[in-house]
Amino acid sequence: MTVLATPVPITARTDTRIRTVSLWHVPLTSHTAYYMADGKTCDTVETVVIAVETNSGLTGWGEVCPIPHYLPAYARGVEPALLELAPVILGADPVGVGATMAAAESWLPGHVYAKSALDIALWDITGQVAGLPLHALLGGRRQADLPLYHSITCIDPDEMSRIARDAQAQGITQFQAKLGASGDWQTDVERLTKVREAVGPGPLVYGDWNCGATSLDATRVGRAVSHLDVMLEQPCATLDDCARVRAATGLPMKLDELAHDTASLLEAHRLGIMDAVALKLSKFGGLSATRRARDLCLHLGSKMCIEDTWGSDITTAALLHLGAATEPARVLNVCDLSGYVAPRLAPDAPTRANGRIAPPEGPGLGVVVDRVALGKPDLILE
């Protein structure tokens, strides 16, 4: 006998619409100034925080923090982008993240970094409406916590090795050594060698030029350390130059700055320079686009560092949720960006413990932003 279930009536969701969007510019000061190749630095950097509020009383938080002179992104460009997008944002359904972001792209093509904060805020609201943490909506939680790497500023080689040992004592097992700030390849050899020696065999060590090396200098460094267990990260400003370095040194390579959309991922994979890849939320345009990039990388076979360019607790929470919803064997690491800067925007947000970090537990992003500390918004759209 076949028993047919009685259909359960679907209760319509309360009509939720975006009522206001507020924006703040917040200076974040690094605990340690970060020196990188080609004169790039992270010392005090302005992050942009937005709050998307609904007619039902929910607030979704987003954040984007471009590093000056680093990528085609500008913190002060977010405000005019949101002003331009106001006609398609205000009154929209925040729970239809894909539909709202598609309308935003149609209205203002490109400017993905400015849309990243909006996309994150919409996901935050969607999770709150569902009563679920974002990792449950991004594929389901695959691991309790995630491995971290520690980024080491490009300074004297002995001081870099000391920083590596200190981080290792706190449980870190992956170390990114910044290279190229001094402009001579021999010192970069010393930097990589001493950091590798400081942490001993086993931990992952990779040298990162942030696109600031010529293929000649990066090749000379790579050949000089080819006997060591190290990886190279984004030595040059073009995919072809990175491929030349990979072929000349035989060392595995992680892609970063040049990975920003489907086409760049496919081309990097074709060139064989994507053993690992950094997926940064603001480069792709938020959680929605980065999740699509994540899924493509699962197909291509690359390990992933799921992170963002810079920022504090809001963007850190977003990337942790996406990382937790990704196959553990394919997550190289994540980054606790909020642990590198002050002030903390959500004082109770997760922090590193024994070299790992867990996503927040509450619905949506799961962070409680200190709105009083933010002060008066620089922009209110309503």
Instruction: Tell me the catalytic residues.
Output: 178, 280
Length in residues, the chain? 382
Q: Which two tokens stand for residue 187?
A: 């010192």
Residue 12 phi, psi (nearest 5): -65, 140
- Dihedral Cα 298, 314, 118, 131, nearest 10 deg: 80
- Candidates 47, 50, 19, 65; CA nearest to 121 is 50
How open is the CA angle 223-226-228, to the nearest 5 degrees? 145
CA distances from 232 to 48, 174, 186, 221, 337 (A): 31, 13, 15, 10, 21
Distance between CA 106 and CA 378 in Å, rounded?
26
Distance between CA 356 and CA 310 in Å, rounded?
18
Place of tokens 């560092």: 305
